[in-house]
A = this chain, B = another copy of it.
Amino acid sequence: MIYLVYGVTASGKTSVGKLLSEKLKVPFYDADDFHPSSNIKKMKNGIPLNDSDRKPWLKILRKNIESWQKDGSAILACSALKESYRSILMDDMKIPMQFILLQSPISTLKKRLESRKEHFISPTLLDSQIKTLEVPEYGIRVDSNVELEELVKLIVKKVSKTNDLGVIGMGTMGKNLSLNISTKDFSVSIYNREVKGKEENVAGDFANKNKDYNLMPFNSLPEFIGSLTSPRKVFLMINSGHPTDEILTQLMMILDPGDIVIDLGNSYFIDSQRRSKFLAQKKIHFLGIGVSGGHYGARNGASFMASGDKYVYKMISPIIEKISALDNNGKSCSSNLGSDGVGHFVKTVHNAIEYGEMQLIAEIYHLMRFHLNMNIDKISNVFKKWNKSDLSSYLLEITSKILDTKVNGVHIIDLIDDKAESKGTGAWGLINSIETGVPFDTLSSSLMFRYLSSMTDERKMASDTYQINLKKGVIDEKIIEKAYSAARVINHGLGFNLLQKTSVKYRWDLNLSEIARIWTNGCIIRSKLMNDWIEILSNKSFEHPLLHVSVVKELKKLQPSLSELLSVAIKLNCSLPVHSSSLNFFLSFTNKSLPSVIIQAQRDFFGMHGLNFKDESQMKNFNHQW
């Protein structure tokens, strides 16, 4: 941390700086000692310095700030009256700096000047300096018209009695994250907005209930921000979209250059790119970090998909790493994956894969329960058994727990309704797949299925009207296991291919293997399969994840079971949309000639959209005279 003590002549910069140096045990430097020889010569001859004289001097100071920072902290006394001077000193604000402006009434300053005997400074100079001083909105301002000892005590209090970071938004995720961080020996300020009758004193009540934790609650945003050490680290855990923009507009007004805003919400990646630019106008840093793990992960270790400037990320990575889940090798499931917005994009694809994984399990449950004469306990046992095999996954684990759960002696699964909702990340994933032109059939089927499930009135009428005969049958458990396994591999292949293609589109250079690694623990789609894919995806030269040699070997073995399962399920009038779309994708993907030849011919017939001959030496983009 660099403490810049600044102000007009006679404001007490040197004496305050020196005493502060003693108190904080941090070396002190006087900016005047760093003038280039040309300036010293001018000053000796009584020629006042102009702005172009000051520029090289400020640049020398900046270089020194960089090396002082490497050794730890430093205090620098410097007039730094104009924003343009301070701007050179702070540069890109990647070095944490605390600005301390000393202010006094002009009468005091004049008295001080008169008492100085060693060198005469004209009172006109003071007047001109006061005129020149541009007081910024950021930093600390103190009235230096008090006793020195008292003044420095006040400054020490202001710069040190502050919390390491702040969390905005005390929903389930925000609360759990705050507890998690505070157990890692960080002091945390927490803030929640006040909404009369709905959200009142939320942060206060939460801190009260958790007195053993190092939490300091606020319901005023400026006070919350004031409680944080510089550069401030503000974690947002609020609803994405408009609420996020609203809070950023407020933060823009009270944060200082160099402060860091970390958006942990499920934001749309394009929004994150825009927000980063918005905050950069005031040199406030922005990091977009996708988080997966639900409330449990937030409390006990989640997966963090970060993005943003790597130097800025370094300033918060000690916190992120401590609250992450750990992979099999004990490394934290967090990573800075690329430039602005990338983290939230990767989170979108995480959730897109999650949609497919959830639906696949749900389909297997449905098939077993309503078509294969298996009761809930039996199904739960199958899932438990699978969870000890290569099929092991968090979602499978919780589904068996769900199947075991009873309310008043009745399985909860038979009590709750079947309207599956969605919060938008699946939709974003599919829109990305559309905009990049990458097929993601398992996602589209999952999403369409959720929409259908919400059409409760129409569905009721349809089941009453059509009275479709849901038949019973038998399918070998091994077949089901292999079919489910095949569909999962295809779903993962499509998800990682979307990452791969989008990475090429935007030149992100995503490390797919590293993404798989941070998805092996903490997040919702963690599984044994994901662990295997770290290795599979480490080969950067593959064209498509489903073309990797070990995936090919696996799918060749599994696909016949997927076909068999579906062929039987159809006969039972059992709909398995995502298993089905995974098979259809696979069979089309591996087929050397597709029916789309007819579609191209139709398009040329009615719309003259053009044809290409297969033989590349022949005509391209021609219209046939039909």
Query: Could you list which residues of chain A lie within 8 angstroms of chain B, going by C-beta atoms?
Result: 172, 293-296, 358-359, 361-363, 365-366, 370, 394-395, 398-399, 401-402, 405, 407, 412-413, 415-421, 423, 427, 430-431, 433-435, 437-441, 444-445, 447-455, 457-466, 468, 470, 524, 543-544, 546-547, 552, 555-556, 559, 563, 566-568, 570-571, 573-577, 580-581, 583-603, 605-609, 611-615, 618, 624, 626
Residues of B close to A420: CB separation below 8 A: 594, 596-597, 599-600, 603
Residues of B close to A294: CB separation below 8 A: 605-608
Give CA–CA (A595, B578) in the complex, Å.
Answer: 12
Contact of A613 among B296, B417, B555 (CB under 8 A): B417
Residues of B close to A556: CB separation below 8 A: 466
CB of A290, distance to nearest CB on chain B (Å): 14
Across the two chains, which residue of chain B brings its CB closest to A567?
Answer: B570
Give CA–CA (A588, B606) in the complex, Å.
Answer: 35
Q: Do B418 and A547 touch across chains, with their CB atoms under 8 A apart? A: no
Residues of B close to A547: CB separation below 8 A: 458, 461-462, 465
Across the two chains, which residue of chain B brings its CB closest to A598?
Answer: B362
Contact of A463 among B402, B590, B596, B602 (CB under 8 A): B590
Q: Do B602 and A398 touch across chains, with their CB atoms under 8 A apart? A: yes
Q: Do A447 and B419 touch across chains, with their CB atoms under 8 A apart? A: no
Residues of B close to A544: CB separation below 8 A: 455, 458, 461-462
CB of A616, distance to nearest CB on chain B (Å): 9
CB of A483, distance to nearest CB on chain B (Å): 11
User: Knowing that A441-B577, A465-B552 are A-B contacts, what are 14 other residue pairs whose CB atoms are under 8 Å apart, sorted by A's residue number?
Assistant: A293-B606, A366-B595, A401-B626, A416-B600, A418-B596, A418-B614, A420-B594, A430-B434, A455-B589, A459-B589, A466-B556, A468-B590, A575-B587, A577-B584
Residues of B close to A574: CB separation below 8 A: 587
Across the two chains, which residue of chain B brings its CB closest to A599?
Answer: B420
Residues of B close to A571: CB separation below 8 A: 563, 567
Across the two chains, which residue of chain B brings its CB closest to A444?
Answer: B444
Q: Closest 7 A-B residue pairs measured CB to CB?
A: A575-B587, A420-B596, A366-B595, A362-B595, A294-B606, A463-B592, A362-B598
Q: Do A598 and B421 touch across chains, with their CB atoms under 8 A apart? A: no
Q: Do B600 and A417 touch across chains, with their CB atoms under 8 A apart? A: yes
CB of A460, distance to nearest CB on chain B (Å): 7
Give CA–CA (A495, B624) in the complex, Å.
Answer: 31
The answer to whether residues A575 and B570 also contact, given A295-B608, A439-B448, A552-B466 and a CB cut-off of 8 A, is: no
Contact of A438 among B451, B546, B573 (CB under 8 A): B451
